[in-house]
Amino acid sequence: MHFRWRTRRLGEHDVTRQTLPTLSERTVTASGPAYLAVIFLFSLLVPIVIPIGSLQLMPHRIVLLVCFFPTLVMLLSSPDIKLIPSDWLIMGSSVWAALALIVNHGVSSTIEPIGIHMIEFLGAYMLGRTAIRTAEDFQTFVKAFLLLLIILLPFAALESLTKRPVLLDLIPQSIAATDTGERLGMRRAQTAFAHPILFGAFASSALGLFWYIITPERTRALTAPLVAALTVFSLSTGAFISFVMQVIFIAWETIAHTIRRRWTYFGVGAIVAYFLIDLLSNRTPFHVLVTYASFNSGSAYNRILIWQYGTDNVWANPVFGLGLNDWVRPSWMSSSMDNFWLVIATQYGLPAIALFIAGVVTIIRSVALRDFIQEPIRRCQAGFLVSVGGIVIAGGTVHYWHGIMAFALFFFGSGGWIAKIDEQSEDGAVETPLQSPERKLTYTRFPSKKPFAKD
């Protein structure tokens, strides 16, 4: 038996990299059923509704319904999956949402909405946790995502330029096209989604994944323009915010990769900028951000009103929310609430949104604080963090519903393997301290730049 040894300086200590030659001679994290992630992803491209009695099923709901109990059993009992705090927090949020619906409407009238919320919220998260368990699984998902967006590109372009919902027209019994008007002389493309804002949020979230994970370099260079084009065709404020924030994250990581605590400094800088805007402007930082991030003043003002009246509804019903009841607002305001996080708080109460946010923050923090030797895992780590940042931030200006809410929860769950990956990683590398701490020289076949290394 032969061993290859590599060492690398990580923080204040060296580690040894021991690579075992064959799969049979090592203990690794079992790969998940990544094909289920691909099936779920492509089910979002089938914009049809299948009525079964009073139940309205969509292809992505059918996938999640079939997978719900198997993934639940797998998550709770599989020795290959380690439960993390986010799992319990997301479960807690979904259970509280069900309780809130029962309190507001009774049991008999809430069976269907509880079931739909459970499969699109908890079911999608569990699918991400169980189907994606290794870097190879994650790369399979990202490649399928790339293929899906390549398929959507010509339809999005035709829809925007011809001002007709081309893809929906081609699919029999598809969902209704949404006429949201024109921006910049183009139709807002919705492709196979219920609304252009959902299509834009979906497409723009891919930038970080493609930038760090797609190989080779010449292929990766084409993915940023692809995501940018799809974002433009959606003409959605939320999509633009998601895309721009991911560009900022990537740029900062590229510029400051030699600084150990670069993301701590980034966070401090963001807080300082917030207070500077508060001091120098006669408006709140929230008002300033919304104004400059919207396509027009009317859209910006509407988002400000949504936040104002939405939070009033939350404070008026803090424990169990409003359920499916309409929220209180002026009669001339639309019922649309373009804020995913605010919708959860309004419908299900503060405990539901607190548990949900805690779950998302916990998984992001757990992934961000890991420090890996292997290049593929580091790239998955960086891609996940950049894209999840775009999804989280855009959620403040977009209401994710139906397939896109399920996609967001699936994506949150897909990063769980990074948070709890074994020290013996999937290609057989083992990280162990050197016996001799005095050793000064290090050798590595990896570059010194480590995206999103531990701060």
- Reported as a single tens digit per residue, the pLDDT across 87-121 is 999 999 999 999 999 999 998 888 899 999 999 99
Cβ neighbours for 118, distance < 8 A, ≥ 6 positions apart: 68, 94, 98
pLDDT value for 289: 67
pLDDT value for 436: 33
The backbone region for 108, taken as left when phi is positive above 0, alpha when psi lies in -120 to 50, beta otherwise, is: alpha
pLDDT value for 443: 41
pLDDT value for 109: 85
Q: Where are the domains of the chain?
A: 30-259+285-422
pLDDT value for 32: 75
Can you list the residues of the chain whose pLDDT is less than 70? 1-30, 278, 281-300, 422-455
pLDDT value for 177: 80
**Model confidence pTM above 0.75:** yes
pLDDT value for 261: 76
How buried is 429 (Cβ within 10 angstroms: 0-12 exposed, 13-18 middle, 19+ buried)?
buried
